[in-house]
Amino acid sequence: MNYRHAFHAGNFADVLKHAVLASVISYLQQKPGAIRVIESHAGGGLYDLGSLTAARTSEWRDGIGLLADPLDAKAEAVLTPFRDALSALRAGHGPNIYPGSPLICQQMLRADDRYIGAELHGETNWQLKTALNKDKRFKVLLMDGWQVLRANVPPKERRGVVLVDPAFEAADEWQVTAREVIAAWRKWQTGCFIVWYPLKNPRQADDLARDFRDADVVNAVRLELIVDDLAAAEKLAGCGLIVINPPWTLRDQAEALLPALALRLARSRKAGFRCEVIAG
C-alpha cells in the first residue's frame, strides 16, 4: 500500500492508459445499449499538478505537459475522446488538474452507463468518492480490487470494459494479475479488458503476454510506449497495455498514436514503441 499515484499523475504512462481507455469507451458508445466500466485499482480521481506532491517528481511535465501542442492529425484523431474529457474536466475543476480514470469515465459515460471500482486505501477511497460528488452511476467500494473483479463479471449490461492497473509492488503481482484477468475473461469472453503494466524488466511483460496466449485468449493486442533506455533509466522508462477483445479499430489507432507519442515524449534516443497482436 505504499504506492501513491499523486506523485505520478499525468505522466507518459497515464497519457497512454487514458487515451486508450477513452478510445475504447467512445467505440463502445457507438451502440445505444448501456455499458459497464469495472476498475480494479481506482485511485483518487482528481490530482492537482500544482501541488507539492506533484512537484516532488514533476512527472507530468514529461507527459501531459508535453502535449499542449497538437500531434499530427492522425494521432490527434485518436486522442480526441481523451482530450475532450480532459478539457471538460479542467473547465470545471481548474487548468492544473489531471483526472484519474474514474473521472474520465464520469465525463464520458451516458445516463444509463455504469461504473464500479475498487480502492482499498481508505483516504484515497474517500478522495475518489468526494471527487465523484455522489454520482449515482458510480459505485466505489473499499475492497480488494481482485475481489470486486471476481464479483462483477459478467456485468448485467454484457457490454463494457475492465481496467486493471495494479501498482506492481508485490513480488507476485505479475502472476496474480495474469491469474485474475484470465479467470475474469473466462467468465466474460466478450468483455474488453485493458491491463496496464510497467516496463522495468521486459521479460515480465513477455511472460504476461505468454500467460494470456497459453490460456487460449483468442483476441489480444500488446501496446507499449518507451520514452527512455529501459536498462539505464533511473525512473520508469516504459509501460504497456495488453488489451483483450479490443475494438477492431484499436490496432490502427495505436499504429497512428504510438509513434507520435514516442517522438514527442522521448527522453532519449532509446525511445520507441510496440504494437503487435499476441492472440489472433
Residue positions annotated with a catalytic role: 165
Annotate 184-247 with DSSP letters as a single string.
Answer: HHHH-TTSEEEEEEE-SSHHHHHHHHHHHHHTT--SEEEEEEE-S-TTT-SS--EEEEEEES--
Query: Residue 38 and residue 59: Cα distance in Å, rounded?
Result: 27
Enter the C-alpha cell of residue 157: 449490461
Number of helices (H) and strands (E), helices first, in the chain? 9, 10
Q: What is the DSSP letter of 58?
A: -
Amino acid found at 72: D
Name 254's Cβ contacts closer than 8 Å, sequence gap at least 6: 20, 78, 221, 223, 275
Query: Residue 23 and residue 18: Cα distance in Å, rounded?
Result: 8
Whether a cis peptide bond, with omega within 30° of 0, leads into 154 is yes
Query: Residue 13 and residue 241: Cα distance in Å, rounded?
Result: 10
Angle between helices 250-265 and 12-28 in degrees, nearest 10: 160
Q: Of 14, 9, 27, nearest to 192 (Cα)?
A: 27
Name 64's Cβ contacts closer than 8 Å, sequence gap at least 6: 10, 11, 14, 15, 49, 86, 98
